[in-house]
Amino acid sequence: MLLKNIHEGLAVPQQFCSCFTVKGDYFFYHYYVDGANDIGWGCGYRSLQTVVSWIICNELHQGLSGVPSIQCIQSKLVEIGDKHESFIGSKEWIGTYEAFLIIDALYKMSCKILHVSCGKELYKVIEILKDHFQNTGSPIMMGGDIDCGSKTILGICHKEDDWWFLVLDPHFSKMKVYNKKQLQDESCVYWKHLSTFDDNSFYNFCIPLGLHQ
C-alpha cells in the first residue's frame, strides 16, 4: 500500500530556527511495496521511485506518465547503454548517477549531481540544499560508499550552526502499512543531525531541477 507525504505531522528538532521541506506530493516507495522481494539491494530503486512519484504527482513530466518498476528501470539503463543486458533481472544496486540517467531519459527532467568527500563536509552543500527546497522543492536522492544505503532527503532545518536533514528511508519491508504514524514510529522518516553521518563515507546527491528547456 502506497502512502503519500509520510513526513507530515512529524515533530521537528527542538528549538529549530527555520525549516525547508519538500513542496508538493510524493508517495513513499520501500522494500516489498509492490510485492517484489528487493530486500538487501533495492533501496536505490525505491528512492528513485519516490523521487519520480513527486514528478508525476506534480505533473512535471514529459514522456512516461507513471512510476517505473524495477524491471523497467533496469531495461532503460540497458537501452541507453549504461548497463549490459545481464543487468536486467539482476540484484545489482543503482545509485544517484543511474537515477540521474533515468530521470533525464524517461521524464526529460534535468538533475544536478553533487559530491561530498566525507560526512563531516556535508555542511558545504547546506546552502545549495536550502535554496533547492525553498525554490524547486523536489525530493533529493542521496547515496554513499561506506554508508551505502540509499536515502531520500525531504528537507533541511537548523538552529544556528546545527543542521538536520529530513531523511526518508526505503529500508522498510512490511507490505501492509496502515497510516503515516506507523511509518514514523518505524523511523522510516526522521530528522538526522549532520554530525551523525559517517565521516569515512563520501556522499552523492541527485537533485531534480526541472524540465528540459
What positions carry a catalytic annotation?
43, 169, 171
- Which neighbouring-strand residues pair with 21? 155
Decide: 136 and 112 in contact? Cβ < 8 Å.
no
